[in-house]
Amino acid sequence: MSSANLTKDSVPTLLQGVMVKHDDVRERTVLLAPERTLALDGTGIAIIEMIDGKKSVSEIVHDLAKQYEADVQTIGNDVVAFLRDLINRGYIGITDGA
């Protein structure tokens, strides 16, 4: 599925073979996929921790906005941009949430 199909009702999931792992040597949290690794910053970790295969993009955005007492629109823009990047890189997929 293309990142162009990402909507507020989409439910992001880690693709098969992708996992979140703490790299003790580099002291970083990373996404591991076959033959590639992506280091995550604090924002990325917060978003990834919300991906459970059940929550929609909208639910993730609202939960993060509440948790960080931040503007929903600002958080929403950041979450959508991050998820689109991960979709394009082949780390996550989305379902339509129906």
Residue range of the domain that includes 30 = 3-89
Model pLDDT, residue 8: 92
Among candidate residues 67, 70, 88, the one with its CA nearest the CA of residue 6: 88
In a domain, 96, yes or no: no
Q: HSE (CB half, 13 Å, CA atoms) of 78?
A: 19
Domain count, the chain: 1
Give me the residue label for tokens 């939960």: 63
What pLDDT, in 10s, does the model give residues 11-47?
999 999 999 999 888 889 999 999 999 999 999 999 9
In a domain, 46, yes or no: yes
Interatomic CA distance for residues 87 and 5, integer angstroms: 10
84: its two tokens: 């689109």
What pLDDT, in 10s, does the model give residues 63-87?
999 999 999 999 999 999 999 999 9
Query: What is the edge-to-edge ordering of all strands in the sheet holding 36-40?
Result: 19-23, 28-33, 36-40
